[in-house]
Amino acid sequence: MTIFDRIIRREIPADIVYETDEVLAFRDIHPVAPVHVLVIPKVAVEGLAHAGPEHEALLGKLMIACGQVARILGIDRTGYRVVTNVGSDGGQSVFHLHLHVLGGRPLGWPPG
Ligand code: 5GP
């Protein structure tokens, strides 16, 4: 069980911006950009490294949800970034698959 499971169960509060039967999107508690939203599946998958063929449709829904979040929050025209951190070198800190949607300012590349 991770903190994201508790958000899905509404045991702890989150600023939810978009939701479907399978996906939840809420603002990151420590935003690194004016728009910083986490898009997660409601089922527990540890991360991209743990996703398999059975998650193919779900991964598509997560990506589509990122685009929907960008439209809802008005960064679809200015641009944004979608990223998922995997494991220790990737900087993953919560082991429930999540996509970061970042926008609202120019984003540098490559990441530090
Ligand atoms: P990761 O480092 O695993 O790629 O991203 C995890 C993200 O979850 C971090 O950006 C962190 O700020 C965010 N986070 C951790 N705990 C909470 C929480 O309780 N609520 C919200 N909204 N975000 C959280």
CA distance 112 to 110: 6
Ligand 1: does its nearest atom lie under 6 Å from the Cβ of 83? no
Calculate what percentage of the chain has a pLDDT beyond 70.
Answer: 100
Phi, then psi, of 69 in degrees rounded to 5: -60, -45
- In this prediction the pTM is 0.98
CA distance 71 to 60: 17
Active site residue: 50, 96, 98, 100, which one?
98
Ligand 1: does its nearest atom lie under 6 Å from the Cβ of 18? no
13-58, pLDDT tens digit by residue? 999 999 999 999 999 999 999 999 999 999 999 999 999 999 999 9
Ligand 1: residue of 29, 69, 83 to mutate (most ligand atoms within 8 A of CB) is 29
Whether residue 76 contacts residue 67, with contact meaning beta carbons closer than 8 Å, is answered with: yes
Q: Which atom of ligand 1 is nearest to the CA of 30?
A: 12
- Measured CA distances, 42 to 33, 75, 76, 103 (Å): 24, 24, 24, 24
